[in-house]
Structure 1
Amino acid sequence: MKASLVLAAALLLPATAAPAGTAPRDSWEWPLSPRPAVLRAFDPPDKPWMSGHRGVDLEATHDGVPVTSPESGTVSFVGVVVDRPVITIDHGGGLRSSFEPVHSPLTAGTLVAKGEPIGTLQPGHCGAIACVHWGVRRGDAYVNPLEFVTDLRPSILLPLGPDTG
């Protein structure tokens, strides 16, 4: 990763990780349809200047697909960071989602509804594979975007009781 991209990412998404289990799983939707495969998982750095992955990379069917807002909110940023188009949605309560590389005709201050298209996926983030990088932060802390759309709690197997044969 280019040093300038790491710096830009650090400026947009501070590097502290929020506690797990703080995401409102019931209300958010995936930003791509159909439900995408996760190509690269959330792996925040221990310190802001260290390398890590401050979001998740989601596989798209092809470049040019619509990217949708996972929850309602207000566009807080649309622009180019280093060499990639980025859009950020403020969902309230300190939660913000950022997507790259996504070209958007929207402007800061635009209200968006959950599931509404916010832009189109551009090529380049995952090489030959079409993908979108989705980052979420609560205040200055990163959170795993997958916690908003899936239940990441571990499964617990219970022993069979005497009446369950």
Structure 2
Amino acid sequence: MRSASPLLRLGASLLAALLVALPPAGGPVDPLADRGWTWPTAPVRMLRPFVAPAHAYGPGHRGLDLGGDGDVRAPADGRVAFAGRVAERSVLTIDHGDGLVSSFEPVDTDLAVGEVVGRTQIVGRVSDGGHAGAGSLHFGVRLDGEYINPLRLLGGVPRAVLLPCCEPLADRGG
């Protein structure tokens, strides 16, 4: 079986990005969506969506790659849990309590471990390095140690709606 073409993969990524802008019918379905988190970049430009791995050690993209003005803002109140270098990248991690931890890379910051930060406070600037393109920010969120889609905290991920995609088998002559 052939793998999906780059154009098909791009189309799927764009569709996923567009779907996040649609509010779910009847309000948020995910209890995490009501926590009042804000985007860490402005203006918001999603460059690469979250892609959940099939299993804990499988390939995926455990966060969002975002473009913006270069400032990095705290998405919610919290306390700096880590600020330093990991694998030649500058990383900032904020513990928000209740098992929620956000991480940003590459980010230069003057904050120290233990400092309290407020929602929307500028906590650093996008720097060089990381897997994302120049000038872009990787934003990840863990809940109780497991990576989750950050969109769950930024207004929720819309419910999936199954639409007909194919003609019935009887109409295919088979």
SS in 1 for 2:32: coil
Pairs aligned (count): 132
Superposed displacement of residue 52, structure 1: 1.2
Could you tell me whether the CA contact under 8 Å between 2:33 and 2:155 is conserved in 1? no
Distance 1:148 1:104 in 2: 23
In the superposition, the TM-score normalised over structure 2's length comes to 0.69
Please list the CA deviations of residues 15-42 of structure 1 after superposition, one character each: whole Å capped at 9, or x if unmatched: xxxxx824234511110112x1211111
SS in 2 for 1:150: coil
1:27 corresponding residue in structure 2 = 36
Unaligned runs of 5+ residues in structure 2 are 1-28, 162-174
Distance 2:53 2:160 in 1: 27
* Larger mean Cα displacement after TM superposition, 141-150 or 96-105: 141-150
Superposed displacement of residue 104, structure 1: 0.8
Equivalent of 2:88 in 78, 83, 92: 83
Distance 1:66 1:127 in 2: 16
2:104 corresponds to which letter in structure 1? F
Q: Write out aligned runs for 1:118-137 (5 A).
A: 118-125=123-130, 126-128=132-134, 130-137=135-142
2:55 corresponding residue in structure 1 = 47
Q: Write out aligned runs for 1:4-15 (5 A).
A: none
* Larger mean Cα displacement after TM superposition, 90-99 or 21-30: 21-30
In the superposition, the TM-score normalised over structure 1's length comes to 0.73
* Larger mean Cα displacement after TM superposition, 72-81 or 49-58: 49-58
Distance 2:51 2:59 in 1: 9
1:99 counterpart = 2:107: no
Hey, which bits of structure 1, 4+ residues long, moved more than 6 A?
Answer: none
Distance 1:135 1:51 in 2: 15
Distance 1:25 1:124 in 2: 33
Unaligned runs of 5+ residues in structure 1 are 1-19, 157-165
Equivalent of 2:147 in 142, 151, 155: 142
Q: Which has the higher helix share?
A: 2
**Judging changes above 3 Å, is the alpha-carbon distance between structure 1 residues 88 and 21 closer, same or farther for their aligned structure 2 residues?**
same
Superposed displacement of residue 45, structure 1: 1.7
Root mean square deviation of aligned Cα: 1.9
1:31 corresponds to which letter in structure 2? P
Distance 2:58 2:34 in 1: 29
How high is the sequence identity, in percent, across the aligned residues? 39
1:24 corresponds to which letter in structure 2? A
Please list the CA deviations of residues 77-134 of structure 1 after superposition, one character each: whole Å capped at 9, or x if unmatched: 0111101100000000000000000011101100000011111101334334x21000
